[in-house]
Amino acid sequence: MTFQNTLDFARQLDAQDELKEYRNEFIFPQHNGKNVVYFTGNSLGLQPKRTKKYVDDIMNDWANLAVEGHFYAEKPWWDYQERFAQPLSKIVGAKPTEVTVMNTLTVNLHLLMVSFYKPEVKRYKIICEEKAFPSDQYMFQSQVKFHGYDPKDAIVEIKRREGEHNIRLEDIVAKINEVGDELALVLFGGVNYYTGQVFDMKAITEAGHKAGAIVGFDLAHAAGNIELKLNEWNVDFAAWCSYKYMNSGPGNASGCFVHEKHHYADLNRFAGWWGHNKERRFKMEPDFDPVHGADGWQVSNLPVLSLAPYLASAEMFAEVGMEKLIKKRDQITSYLEFILHEIDSQIPGTEFEIITPENQEERACQLSVFLHGQGRSLFDYLMSNGVITDWREPNVIRLAPVPFYTSYEDMYNFGQILKEGILNASR
């Protein structure tokens, strides 16, 4: 498609958008009486309007039924997480028994590492990406220390080549082969939070397994954003937060995946009664008998008030399907890229270097942009003029046009505000 940097063209694309009605399903912050241009769904998704009813239903059941809500609410609380099995399995490419919802992301990664990081005298190293999200880095460090290893020795980071912004797949595979029989675990992000690079999880999983290692993924920036086939790719385990692309609310519950091949394995786990045999849970038996499936990794009673917003969003995903979201994601991200290049070509001395891969197979809906010739003042100008975006040191803004609620007109308006901000700074 040949794009145009005009309001009429942007509105034309919006008129053709098969997801355009879903924009009205979300609540936008306001700036001077208008919706903001919202680019931070990769940090916190907007609130779906239907969310309030899902939460109110639980509050009403609590008021009217009290403890009996566990069994007699319209959506009984004791098995509330089972409603996620079908929609989440479609989003992450799993079987319904392979997914569950519990806790928060880093808590779940720690719990999963109890089962899947099993260091031995020789095989004890973890491979991860350079500049992984800080929480993951802290998790790796604390896990290897817990097992008595030195993080400087046990944690192997795959680095970017000099002068490059993204990690090459061949370098990942080469490092996995190099570490070889010392490698216990490969744990990567599905999408790098800083650059927006999408990693080839299928190839990474194959390489890790060939080396005799377990392979897992932090899908915080991937779930609800890219096509995932966790079961088919033979991924051992994964976890993701729900508050970014899946719009469940700040700090909300995390999803987990455990491949079916592990469901009957004798694995270490930190057990709790909500992972115990569902039919016998209330018999209060002393010996743990785990539910077969990902639900067997649950620990505590379900936080249903947290799960309610997530369920509202998961059911919205089920209505639309990832195929349509990905189709719009690719086009609107390409249009944003076009707008950025249009603006920097019009203003001498301005250069926007997009450090997210150009190849559509290696990116999703985030563009990370180096503001050469500009700085924090431009970011501040955008924020004060109704563009909500994200600043990362040293000089990067992250822009995520989420397909559920971002419009092509937003992209055009952003370009005009961006241009005005640059021109204002030079006056």
Query: Pairing state of beta strands 155-158 and 125-129?
Result: parallel
Q: Which pLDDT does position 122 carry in this prediction?
A: 95
Residue 295: CB partners within 8 Å, gap ≥ 6?
81, 82, 97, 100, 275, 278
Please determine, for residue 374, whether its predicted confidence score (pLDDT) is greater than 80: no
Residue 427: pLDDT band by 50, 70, 90 thresholds? low
Residues in the chain: 427
Q: Please tell me the pTM assigned to this model.
A: 0.96
pLDDT greater at residue 151 or residue 374: 151
Q: Work out the burial of residue 121: count CB atoms within 10 Å of its CB; fewer than 13 is exposed, 13-18 middle, 19 or more buried.
A: exposed
Q: What is the pLDDT of residues 3-41, one digit of tens each?
A: 999 999 999 999 999 999 999 999 999 999 999 999 999
Please say whether the beta carbons of 46 and 405 come within 8 A: yes
Q: Which amino acid is at 69?
A: G
Which of 44-53, 237-246, 340-349 is predicted least confidently?
A: 340-349
CA distance 40 to 391: 10
Query: Pairing state of beta strands 387-388 and 37-38?
Result: parallel
What is the rounded average pLDDT of the residues 316-345? 96
Please determine, for residue 409, whether its predicted confidence score (pLDDT) is greater than 80: yes
Q: Which residue in 211, 198, 126 sits closest to 169, CA to CA?
A: 198
Q: Which residue in 14, 44, 22 sits closest to 389, CA to CA?
A: 44
> What domains, with CATH codes, occur in the chain?
7-35+322-426 (3.90.1150.10), 52-320 (3.40.640.10)
Q: Which pLDDT does position 70 carry in this prediction?
A: 94
Please say whether the beta carbons of 126 and 154 come within 8 A: yes
What is the rounded average pLDDT of the residues 182-188? 98
Q: Which residue in 72, 47, 46 sits closest to 58, CA to CA?
A: 72
Exposure string of 315-354, with b = 16+ CB inside 10 Å and e = fewer, is bbbeeeebeebbebbebbbebbbbbbeebbeeeeebebeb
Please determine, for residue 372, whether its predicted confidence score (pLDDT) is greater than 90: no
pLDDT greater at residue 252 or residue 282: 252
Exposure string of 49-76, with b = 16+ CB inside 10 Å and e = fewer, is eebeebbeebeebeeebeeebbeebebb
| Structure token digits, residue 379 | 């970011």
Q: Which pLDDT does position 241 carry in this prediction?
A: 96
Please determine, for residue 342, whether its predicted confidence score (pLDDT) is greater than 80: yes
Which region holds residue 222: left if phi is over 0, alpha if psi is between -120 and 50, else beta? alpha
Exposure string of 83-101, with b = 16+ CB inside 10 Å and e = fewer, is bbbebbbbbbbbbbbbbbb
Q: Which pLDDT does position 371 carry in this prediction?
A: 83
Please say whether the beta carbons of 83 and 311 come within 8 A: yes
Please determine, for residue 402, whether its predicted confidence score (pLDDT) is greater than 90: yes
Q: What is the pLDDT of residues 266-323, one digit of tens each?
A: 899 999 999 999 888 888 999 999 999 999 999 999 999 999 999 999 999 999 999 9
Q: What is the pLDDT of residues 37-90, one digit of tens each?
A: 999 999 999 999 999 999 999 999 999 999 999 999 999 999 999 999 999 999
